Structure formats: structure tokens, C-alpha cells
Amino acid sequence: MEGGERLLPKGFPKLKNDTFLRAARGEETEHTPVWCMRQAGRYLPEFRETRAAQDFFATCRSPKLCCELTLQPLRRFPLDAAIIFSDILVVPQALGMEVVMVPGKGPTFTEPLKEVEDLLKLRQKVDVTAELGYVFQAITLTRHSLEGRVPLIGFSGAPWTLMSYMIEGGGSSTMAKAKSWLYRHPEASHQLLRLLADVITDYLVGQVAAGAQALQLFESHAGHLGPEQFQDFALPYIRDIAQAVKSKLKEEALPLVPMIIFAKDAHYALRDLAHAGYEVVGLDWTIRPQEARAQTGKDVTLQGNLDPCALYAPKEKIGELVKKMLEAFGTQRYIANLGHGLYPDMNPEHVGAFVEAVHAHSRHINKHS
């Protein structure tokens, strides 16, 4: 890419393993597909080596590096999907906010939103190709580089999660500043959430145009909201994004790709999320599979939900936990994953044990059912 010829989003290699896409659409699969949130990450020594001399967001802006980091876990493990290496905070950057990665602290906004008047500083119209074209280039390059091995997932943060970062200025255990906006400034909150939803819609459509074969929306901070606030400030925008993305994909004659909604700690909203227009509902590790099935019904695929910390267990124990999880979810209309992302100090061999256990146990269950 850099210094070379830019690949175009066409003439992609034929897909060899479509198990993930079939499961997402509710079609029968020979084995349960598996991928991991944060599968391209610091738990891999090759990731740390690639990232060593580079600023985090500079890495995100390099299609070549994003492609390399996306492919690294695929070289180690027989995963059934790749997810593009990027970050949810590229969207606030596209709106004109500065975000830097501070060592030991994480992503930090140099000037978070403090007053309603600060909304005027944001770009009200965002040309996603101009502002986020580097992500689209990374997707196109990666889709070609995957050579059809597995499908490529694109993603974005959801409006409430992005809003909370933009107001808090970084991570927070309470999200008190952001939640105070919902109570004190409901109209301004809706104004910001609508702006974000519109940009996210264009961003996700652009990812499909670039070559993404599925999309995941991360409502990572859903757990900070109660049922009423979720109904008012999160769910309407989650629904709107699914509807608007699908409508625009049709208008632009682009593939109607499966969409996944992952709203962490939003157990109270599972029924609503199952009817929000997404083919797949992602689950964190704090809900029983049977309960999730009962709440979501038979018309959506479920994804999740092994406790990430289970990967600290011995490999044999990981296998037992995977078997139990598969028996609880069933092997069909199901995509195995963790209940959140991989942690930096995890042993790559244990990640491999998780992936292999999903394939082995799901094939065994399918064969004997």
C-alpha cells in the first residue's frame, strides 16, 4: 500500500471457508465457527514486535500495518473469521476530536466535551471516505491478502459508547460525566447520538463497499445504563443503524452482510436486541446460554460467551468449559467467542486450545446428534 499500488475493492479471491457467514445467517454448519474479540492483540509476541516503534493511532492509519496485524492470529489459529485491526475511537477523530494513546492510561481525549456548546466544535457533516478512508484501504488490502481463507469482519463503536468516551475523555468506572448529560441535557444528548449514528451508518456502509463481509457494532458501555436509559439513549440508535445500513447497502447495490450487535452487560435488553434488525446477538459471560436463548428466540444467531479469564485455566479445563458451553448453546445458530476481548497477558497456546476445542467438540456433537 504505502509506496505501492492501491488495491481496488473488486476481484476478491473466492471464499473457501464460509462457516461463520452461514452460522450468522442461521444456516446449518458442519462445525461451530469461532473467532475472538481482540484476536489481533498484545497477547501475541509478533503483534508487540510489529507495534513496538509505532504510535497506536498511527498504526490504525497505516493500511499495511492494519492488514499485517489482522492476519497474524490467522497464521497461528484455525479461526473462522478475521476482524480488521482498528479502533472504535477513529469515529470521534473523524468528527474533529483529538485522541491520543497515553502509556499506562489508555486512549485520552485532549479536549473532551464539557458543555453543550462544545457540540458546535464537532464536524456536523463528515465525509467518511476523506476522514476514514485509511480504514477502507486496510479492509480492501486485508480482504485481498486473506486469499479467501475466512470472511473479514468490519466494526464500529455504537453511539452511546462513543458519546461516553467523548465526554469522559477516556475510560471511566462510572461514566458519571456522560450519564449526567443524559439527565441534564437530554436534547443535546440526542443531538450528539444522532450525529454519531449518521456517521457510523456511512462508515459501516463504506466498510462493506471496501470488502467487509460482516459488521459488528460494539455497545461496550451498555452496562452503565439501566433499562430506561438504554431504551431512550441506546436502543433507538442501535435499531436505526441496522435499518439505515441495510437500506443504503440496497441502494448502492452492495452485499447485504450479516450484522452483529454486542451490548455488554445489557441482559435487560436481550429481547429488544433480538428484534433490533441484527442477524447475530453477541453475549458477555455473565448470562447463562439457556436464558439467552429463551430471551432472544429462534430467529437470531447467538455469539459468545466464554469468560475470557477461562483461558488462564489449563488446556484440558478449557476444553471442558468449551464442551459445556457448546452443549448449552447448541452447535447451530451459534458462533463461539469469548464474552469480551482477549487480555494482553494471555498465553497464545491457550487461545489455540480454545479454538481447537470449539471445532473438535462441535463436530463430535453434530456427528452424534
Q: Which of 269, 110, 195, 290 is nearest to 281 (CA)?
A: 269
The mean per-residue pLDDT over the stretch 311-336 comes to 98
- Percentage of the chain lying above the pLDDT 90 cut: 96
Give me the pLDDT at residue 4, please.
44
- List active site positions: 38, 42, 51, 87, 165
Q: Compute the radius of gyration of the chain from its Cα atoms.
A: 20
pLDDT at 3 over 80: no
Beta strands in the chain (DSSP E): 82-83, 99-102, 106-109, 152-157, 214-219, 259-263, 280-282, 301-306, 334-338
User: Pairing relation of β-strands 301-306 and 280-282?
Assistant: parallel
Give me the pLDDT at residue 5, please.
61
Burial call 110-140: b when 16+ CB within 10 Å, e when fewer? eebbeeeebbeebeeebebeebbebbbbbbb
Q: What is the pTM of this model?
A: 0.97
Task: Tell me yes or no: is domain 30-367 CATH 3.20.20.210.
Answer: yes
The mean per-residue pLDDT over the stretch 183-195 comes to 98
Give me the pLDDT at residue 2, please.
44
pLDDT band at residue 246 using 50, 70 and 90 as cut-offs: very high
